Amino acid sequence: MRIELVKRKEHSGVMALLSPVIAVGSTLIAAALIFTLTGKDPALGLYKFFIEPLTDTWSLQEIVVKATPLVLIACGLAVCYLSNNWNIGAEGQFVFGAICGSFLPILIPDFANGATLPLMLVFGALGGAAWGLIPALLKTRFNTNEILTSLMLVYVAGLLLDYLVRGPWRDPGGYNFPESLIFSDAATLPVIGDGRMSISAPIAVLVVIVLAVVLAKTLKGFEIRVMGESPRAGSFAGFSSKRLTIFAFALAGALAGLAGTMEVSGSLNQLLPTISPGYGFTAIIVAFLGRLNPIGILIAGFVLALSYIGGEAVQASMGVSDKITSVIQGLLLFFVLACDTFILYRLRFVKSRKSAGVPEASHV
Amino acid sequence: MFEAVLLTVITAATPLLIAAVGELVVERSGVLNLGVEGMMIMGAVVGFAVANQTGSGSLGVVAAIVAGMAMSALFGFLVLILVTNQVASGLALTILGLGLSGMIGEAFIGVPGLRLPELYIPVLSEIPFVGPVFFQQDALVYVSFLLVGAVSYMLFKTRAGLILRAVGDNHVSAHALGYSVVRVRFMATLFGGACAGLAGAYMSLAYTPQWVENMTAGRGWIALALVVFASWLPFRVVAGAYLFGAVTVLTFHAQAQGLGIPSQFLSSLPYLATIAVLVLISANRRLTLVNTPACLGKPFVPDR
C-alpha cells in the first residue's frame, strides 16, 4: 500500500483552524508515550506537565513571563517567514539586544532617572536590529545564505555575553561570580502582580495588535505577503525584495532585542552568562504553530511557555529530565508542519501497483 | 610539536568531513536537510551509550549510524511524503535531536568513555613523521577519505549518480523519464543521516571519548556551510573540513599559550570564519551557480 497526496480543489478552511489543534493533540499522545517509555505514569506525567501549571497563580504568572519574549520574537519571525527570509538567529538577536540594553545600568549606574528605562529599551531594540541586519545585508549584498549566517551569529553573541559577564562587566562586589551589577530601580521594568510579571507582557500584546493591523490592513502587509508568495509578481508592483529583506530582519531583530532587554530588566535584573532557555529557537515553533498570524502567535506563545513550566514541573516532581521540554517542542513542530499539509492536500491510500494489477493508465 | 598539531587537525576535521559529505549527497538530490546537528548529536549519544554498554566500539559506531538514519527517515517522511517545509522540518529535527540526546545521555554524564583503537597500517606507519600522521589513525579517518572517493565516483561516474543529480537539478524531467523522485531523494536522505550519525560517533568515541550535552557545538551547522563552501563538489569538502579543523585547533593552541586574548573570542573564530567563507564563496556568482542543484529545497508532488 502507498500513501499519495491529492491536491484539494481549494484549501480547506476547516483544516486551517483544526491543524494546530490536531498538532497539539498528537503531541500530547507522543508525550504520553515518552512518559511510558521512561517508566513513568503517563497520566500523571501529562497532568503535571500540561494541567497542573494552569491551576495556581504562581505558575500562571510564570507562563506569562515566558510567553512574553516568545510572542515578541515570533511576531518578528512571522514577518521574516511570510516574506521568505529564513531568519533562524533570533536567539543571537535576543542576546545582543540584551547586551546593548544593559550597558546603561551596568556601565553608568548613576544615570538613574525617568529616561533610563526608555533609553534601555531603545538601545536594546537598536542592538537587536543591528545584529539582525548583518545576515540581511550579507544576503542582499553578497547573496549569502541567511540561514547559516544568522545561526552562526547566535554562537558569537552567546560567547560575547559570556566574555562580558565574566570579564569587564562582572560585578566588582560580586565575589567573582560571573554576573553583572543588579540593576537599580530606575532600570527595572515596573512589576505587575506579586510575581516576576512586568509591563513587558502588555507591551507584547500591543505589538501583536499593531502587527495584526499592519499585516491585514496596510500596503506594507500586502507587500510582505506578495513578496513571500510570488516575488516576481511583487517586483512588477514595484516592491523590492532586497529592501523587504532588510526591513524584515531589522524588525525581527528589533523585537528580539526588545524582548532580550525586557527579559533582563524585568525578570533577571542583571546580566548572567546565560539569559535565555532557547527563546529564540522556541519562538520559531511559536511562529509556525500560530500560523504566522499575530493573534495565532499570541495563543501559541502560551502553549510553548507551558512546555517550559511543565518541563520544570515533571523534573521536580517525577525526576524526568527537563530535556523533555525540547523533545516535546521538536515533536510539536513536526506535527504542526505535518498537519499544515492537509490544508492543501488530502491523503489517498492506494494499493501497490503489483497487487492492483492494472497500472493507472487512464492518466496518460 | 608540528606533528602533534597536525594529528589534532585530522581529528578535528574528520567529523566535519563525514557529515558534510553525507549532506552533499542529500543536497545533490535536491533536499535541504538542516537537521544535521540533530542527527549528529543523536549519533554521538547513541554511539557512546551502546559502546559503553557492550564494550564494543564497532557496535557503537553501527548503532550511531542506525540512529542517524532513523532521524533522517523521520525527516524524509515529512519532507518527501507530506511535502512539509524543508527549512522548518530540519530545524524541528535539530531541536528534537538536542532534546532526545540530552534525555538519553543524562545517565552517561561523567562516565569514562571508550576510544576507538588506532589502526596501524603495516610498513607505511613506520615512516618517520609521515607514518604517525597519516597511517596511525583510527579507522574512521580512513573511512572518511574512502567516503569522499566513493561519493565522488558514485556522483560523477555511475548511472546512479547521474540519476541522483538529475533528480536534484530538474525533478519534473526526472519524473517524466520514469525515475521515482521521492525514492531517490529518500535514499539520499538516509545516506546523509547515516553519515551524520557516523560523524556523531566520531565525536563521542574518538574526538573526545565522553558524553557532554550539546557536544557537537554547532558542527552540524558548520558541515552545512562546508557543502556551500565546496560548491557541491566532494573533493573541495576535504579542503574545507581541514581548513576548519585547522582553525579549531589553532584556537585551542592559542588558548593554551595564553596570548592574552579572551578565550571567548578565540572560541568564536570558527563561527566567524564560517560567515567569512560563506560571504567569499557566495559573492562569486559564477562559482556557486554552476554546481548548485537547481531544485534544492523545492518540494515535489508527483502528479500521477
Task: Say if A324 is an interface residue toward chain B (CB within 8 Å).
Answer: yes
Distance of CA A109 to the CA centre of its chain: 31
Lowest-confidence pick of A5-9, B63-67, B285-289: B285-289
Residue-level pLDDT at A261: 95
pLDDT reported for residue B14: 93
In a domain, B123, yes or no: no
Domain membership of residue B302 (yes or no) is no
Contact flag A138-B279 (C-beta cutoff 8 Å) = yes
- Residue of A3, A163, A337 lying closest to B89 (CB–CB): A337
Q: What is the pLDDT of residue B304?
A: 57
What size, in residues, is chain A?
364
> What does the alpha-carbon distance between residue B230 and residue B239 come to, in Å, rounded to a whole number?
8
Q: CB contacts < 8 Å between A and B, how many?
A: 140
Residue A306, min C-alpha distance to chain B (Å): 17
Contact B298, B32 (CB under 8 A): no
Does residue B121 fall inside a structural domain?
A: no
Q: Span A34-43, mean pLDDT? A: 87
Q: Do the Cβ atoms of B83 and A7 come within 8 Å? A: no
Is A261 near chain B, with CB under 8 Å? no
Lowest average pLDDT, out of A33-42, B98-107, B278-287, goes to B278-287
Q: Give pLDDT, residue B1.
A: 67
Is residue B242, in this structure, part of any structural domain at all?
yes
| Domains of chain A, each with CATH number or no CATH | 64-316 (1.10.3470)
Pick from A4, A144, A333: which is nearest to B278 by CB?
Answer: A144
With cut-offs at 50, 70 and 90, classify the pLDDT of residue A360. very low
Q: What is the residue type of A249?
A: F
Mean pLDDT of A183-190: 83
A84 at interface of B, judged by CB pairs closer than 8 A: no
Give A89 or A111, the one with higher predicted confidence. A89
Return the residue in B32, B96, B182 with the most chain A beta carbons within 10 A, the one to mutate for interface testing. Answer: B96
**Interchain pair A363, B304: CB under 8 A:** yes
In a domain, B175, yes or no: yes
**Given a cut of 80, is residue B131 above it in pLDDT?**
no
Looking at CA atoms only, how far is residue B86 from chain A in angstroms? 10
Asked if the model's pLDDT at residue B156 lies above 90, the reply is yes
Q: How many CB atoms lie within 10 A of CB B285?
A: 10
Task: Provide the pLDDT confidence category of residue A59 given band limits of 50, 70 and 90.
Answer: confident
pLDDT of residue B216: 87
Q: What is the mean pLDDT of residues A126-140?
A: 96
Alpha-carbon dihedral A246, A251, A252, A256, rounded to 10 degrees: 140
Residue B122 lies in a domain: no
Q: What local confidence, expressed as pLDDT, does residue B110 receive?
A: 81
Cβ-proximal residues to B93 (8 Å cutoff; 6+ apart), any chain: A330, B33, B34, B35, B38, B39, B71, B74, B75
- pLDDT tens-digit readout, A268-326: 888 999 899 889 999 999 999 898 999 999 999 999 999 899 888 888 888 888 888 88
Q: Higher confidence at residue B120 or residue B216?
A: B216
Mutate to test the interface with A, among B271, B272, B298 (most CBs of A within 10 A): B271
Pick the residue with more confidence: A61 or B134?
A: A61
Residue A364: per-residue pLDDT = 35
Which range has highest mean pLDDT (A11-15, A63-67, B132-136)? A63-67
Is residue A362 pLDDT above 70, yes or no?
Answer: no
- Domain presence at residue B15: yes
Is the pLDDT assigned to residue A26 strictly greater than 80? yes
Chain B residues touching residue A321 (CB < 8 angstroms):
102-103, 106
Average pLDDT of the segment spanning A330-357: 77
DSSP E strands in chain A: the ranges are 2-7, 345-350
- CB of A288 within 8 Å of any CB in chain B? yes
Asked whether the beta carbons of residue A337 and residue B85 sit closer than 8 angstroms, the reply is yes
Of A48, A112, A64, A35, the closest CA to residue A262 belongs to: A64
What pLDDT is recorded for position A353? 55
DSSP assignment of A190-236, as one string?
A: PB-TTSS-BTHHHHHHHHHHHHHHHHHHSHHHHHHHHHHH-HHHHHH
Look at residue A232 and tell me whether its pLDDT is greater than 90: no
| A329 touches B at CB < 8 Å | yes
Chain B CB within 8 Å of residue A153 CB: yes
Closest partner CB to A156 (pick from B96, B225, B272): B272
Min mean pLDDT across A112-116, A351-355, B76-80, B166-170 is at: A351-355
What are the pLDDT digits (tens) for B162-203?
999 999 989 888 888 888 899 999 999 999 999 999 999 999
List of chain A residues whose C-beta atoms are within 8 Å of the C-beta of residue B94: 330
A124: distance to nearest CA of chain B, Å?
22
pLDDT grade, residue B291 (50/70/90)? confident
- Number of domains present in the structure of chain B: 1
The amino acid that residue B36 corresponds to is V
| Residue A345 sits at the chain B interface (C-beta within 8 Å) | yes
pLDDT mean over B144-164: 93
Task: Return the minimum-mean-pLDDT range out of A200-204, B105-109, B125-129, B267-271.
Answer: B125-129
Tell me whether residues A285 and B95 touch, CB distance under 8 A. Answer: yes
The answer as to whether B202 is a domain residue is yes
What pLDDT was estimated at residue A356? Answer: 42
**Residue B261 reports pLDDT greater than 90:** no
CB atoms B278 and A147 under 8 Å: no
| Residue B282 pLDDT grade (very low, low, confident, very high; cuts 50, 70, 90) | confident
Residue B107: which CATH number?
1.10.3470.10
Amino acid (1-letter code) at residue A255 = L
- Using a CB-CB cut-off of 8 Å, the residues of chain B touching A149 are 275, 278-279
ipTM confidence score? 0.87
φ, ψ of residue A349 to 5 degrees: the values are -95, 125
3-class SS string, chain B = CHHHHHHHHHHHHHHHHHHHHHHHHHHHCCCCCCCHHHHHHHHHHHHHHHHHHHCCHHHHHHHHHHHHHHHHHHHHHHHHHCCCCHHHHHHHHHHHHHHHHHHHHHHHECCCCCCCCECCCCCHHHCCCHHHHHCCCEHHHHHHHHHHHHHHHHHHHCHHHHHHHHHHHCHHHHHHCCCCHHHHHHHHHHHHHHHHHHHHHHHHHHHCCCECCCCCCCHHHHHHHHHHHCCCCHHHHHHHHHHHHHHHHHHHHHHHHCCCCCHHHHHCHHHHHHHHHHHHHHHCHHHHHHHCCCCCCCCCCCCC
* Mean pLDDT comparison of A164-178, A334-348, B228-242, highest-scoring range: B228-242
Q: How far is the C-alpha of A85 from the C-alpha of A62, rounded, in Å? A: 32
Q: Is the pLDDT of residue B154 over 90?
A: yes
What is the pLDDT, as a whole number, of residue A101? 93
Grid cell locating B97 = 535531536
| Residue among A301, A251, A280, A313 nearest A94 (CA) | A280
Q: What is the mean pLDDT of chain A?
A: 87
How far is Cα A129 from Cα A80, in angstroms, rounded to an integer? 13
The reported pLDDT for the residue numbered A352 is 60
Q: In whole angstroms, what is the distance from residue B167 CA to residue B28 CA? A: 8
- Chain B closest-CA separation from residue A33 CA (Å): 13
Which has the minimum average pLDDT: A205-214, B24-33, B105-114, B234-243? B105-114
Per-residue pLDDT band at B257 (split at 50, 70, 90)? confident
A30–chain B Cβ distance below 8 A for any pair: no
Distance from CA of B282 to the nearest CA of A (A): 5
CB nearest B283 (choices: A142, A159, A162): A142
A325 close contact with B: CB closer than 8 A: yes
Q: Measured in Å, how far apart are chain B's first and last C-alpha atoms?
A: 63
> What is chain B's mean pLDDT, rounded?
88
Which pLDDT band, with edges at 50, 70 and 90, does A361 fall under?
very low
**Residue A360 to chain B, least CA–CA distance (Å):** 8
Collect all residues of chain B within an 8 Å Cβ-Cβ radius of residue A4: 304
Supply the range of the domain harboring residue B138: 2-115+129-291
Between A61 and A355, name the one with better pLDDT: A61
Which residue in the set A281, A321, A324 is minimally distant from B95, CB to CB?
A281
Handedness of CA A61, A66, A68, A74 (dihedral sign): negative
Lowest-confidence pick of A206-210, A263-267, B260-264, B269-273: B260-264
CA-to-CA distance for A261 and A225, rounded, in angstroms? 29
